[in-house]
Amino acid sequence: MKQYDVVIVGGGFTGLTAAYCLAKAGKSVKVIEADSTPGGLAGTFEFSDGVTLEKFYHHWFNNDVFVPELVKELGMEGDVITLPSRTGMYFNGRMWKLSTPMDLLRFKALPLIDRFRLGFLVLQVRRVKDWRTIEHLTIREWLEPLCGKTVYRIVWEPLIQAKFSVFAETVNAVWFWKKLVLRGSTRDKKGGEELAYFKGGFGRLAESLVSAIRQYGGDVSLGQNVTGLKVEGNRITAVQTGIEEVSGSEFLFTPAFPIIANMFESVAPPSWLANIRRVKYLGNVCLVLRLNRSLSDTYWLNVNDPGFPFVGVIEHTNFDAPENYNGSRIAFLSRYLAVQDPVWAYSDEEYLQFALTHLTRMFPDFNKSWIVDYRVWHAEFAQPVTERGYSSYVPGVETPFENGSISTMAQVYPEDRGTNYAIREGRSAAMRMLELLKGRAT
């Protein structure tokens, strides 16, 4: 049985980046991924004609650092495209453009004074220099005094409820503060927002990482579930899959906390498992529609009308060109929910009918004949829920075993999950592994 320097569980961008850095440094590394494609939540699928697309919508911001650095290191910087973003809001039966400051002034769903309050909110948010000073507040408790109850009720409350479902009133203010700071710093000189995308999608970037790992002698196994661990004393000796046991000197675990807890169930102390399971998650159901015509000219349409069960309608081909998808239009309809919600258990056909009932209210001209194809994707642990005092209870990188560590999207706090931070954490984990390996060798 081969003994690897590092065994990495999870082939999302954290695991892949860590493996790439380790393999490049000359270490023997193996990645084990349960899905059939790499990339985690940025993984892809193919339509019947070979058109490839992410299962869940993706872009990155023009001020992100770690994605462009990795792309450049892989020699693929020419495949990054930066484009203006057309955003809007569906409210009270109509669509409002909200891409520029002038759009905001025309947003008559708010009284004029409240439009100004909404516009000044980013300046107020930037005054917060230490996120710890607002971590004890919920989003509502922090935001309402800043922008007023009317702005909160019309603009922010519907989005927060759609995003966090049953946890909407418990998420701390840091999550929203970070979002506003980030979005406020992605504007061009005219006040519009610019976003970046990778030609061929993030799945192509994940595949390129896999190729680079293998080129440096690393191994990536797809479609394998880790079912348990073998331990001796305070050390992990191997991970078990349905196919093999994989031995290593160091082990890095990158899936969501509940998945990690299941892997450690029979070998870790109950108190540590309880701490790992303390972090709550929401699932996501994402309907991907392939259409023969466009729904609108907006890329990112926030849904602020009560009664609409989607946080947004993201028409991907108003960002990336339809020509890259054989001329068809692509739209994502995203819904966050607790997995106990009955909607979670809908069949694909049931979910499509559920979605179209609401979509036709939003786009009265829409007809089912527009649909060329569709897919429904589920992610059980799509969004970590950062409640009050999250920094005091979110688990650290340590496990009960001296050669096992954790790096997950729930630990990028105060940032929110995202490919940019996954890459950052992957590099950080690799550096930690290299130091540990060096220390054990001396």
Report domain extents, the chain: 3-58+201-279+394-441, 79-196+281-389
**DSSP character string of 141-205:** HHHHHHH-HHHIIIIIHHHHHHHHGGGTTTBBHHHHHHHHHHHHTSB-TTS-BEEEEETT-HHHH
Is 3.90.660.10 the CATH classification of the domain at 79-196+281-389?
yes
Please give the helix or strand (H or E) that residue 287 lies within, else none.
strand 280-291
> CA 397: distance to chain centroid?
20
Per-residue pLDDT of the chain in tens (442 residues, 90 and over written 9): 689 999 999 999 999 999 999 999 999 999 999 999 999 999 999 999 999 999 998 888 878 899 999 999 999 988 888 888 788 888 878 888 877 778 888 888 899 999 999 888 878 888 899 999 999 999 999 999 999 999 999 999 998 998 999 999 999 999 999 988 876 655 555 556 788 888 888 889 999 999 999 999 999 999 999 999 999 999 999 999 988 999 999 999 999 999 999 999 999 999 999 999 999 999 999 999 999 999 999 999 999 887 788 889 999 999 899 999 999 999 999 999 999 999 999 999 999 999 999 999 999 999 999 999 999 999 999 999 999 999 999 999 999 999 999 999 999 999 998 999 999 999 999 999 999 998 877 6
Q: Coil, strand, or helix at residue 238?
A: strand
- Cα(375)–Cα(259) distance, integer angstroms: 25
- Cα(409)–Cα(419) distance, integer angstroms: 9
- Cα(66)–Cα(160) distance, integer angstroms: 27
Buried b / exposed e along 316-342 (16+ C-beta atoms within 10 A)? bbbbbeeebbeebbbbbbbbbbeeebe
The residue assigned the tokens 């592994």 is: 433
Q: Residues 6 or more apart from 423 whose CB is under 8 A from it?
A: 13, 14, 17, 66, 67, 69, 70
| pLDDT for the residue 183 | 65
Residue 166 in tokens: 């049953």
| Maximal CA-CA distance, the chain | 70
| pLDDT for the residue 378 | 97
Buried b / exposed e along 32-64 (16+ C-beta atoms within 10 A)? bbbbebbbbbbbbeebeeebbbbbbbbbbbbeb
Matching fold, domains 3-58+201-279+394-441 and 79-196+281-389 = no
Cβ–Cβ under 8 Å, residues 261 and 276: yes
CATH of region 3-58+201-279+394-441, choose from 3.40.50.720, 3.50.50.60, 3.30.70.590, 3.20.20.80: 3.50.50.60
Q: Residues 6 or more apart from 266 whose CB is under 8 A from it?
A: 228, 229
Cβ–Cβ under 8 Å, residues 99 and 88: yes
- Cα(302)–Cα(310) distance, integer angstroms: 9
The pTM for the full model equals 0.93
Buried b / exposed e along 385-400 (16+ C-beta atoms within 10 A)? bbbbebeeebbebebe
The residue assigned the tokens 């609401």 is: 358
Helix axes 112-125 and 139-147, enclosed angle (nearest 10): 120
- Cα(391)–Cα(385) distance, integer angstroms: 12
C-alpha distances in Å from residue 377, one per residue of 47, 132, 281, 347, 362: 13, 35, 17, 11, 22
Picking from 249, 198, 253, the residue whose alpha carbon sits closest to that of residue 68 is: 198
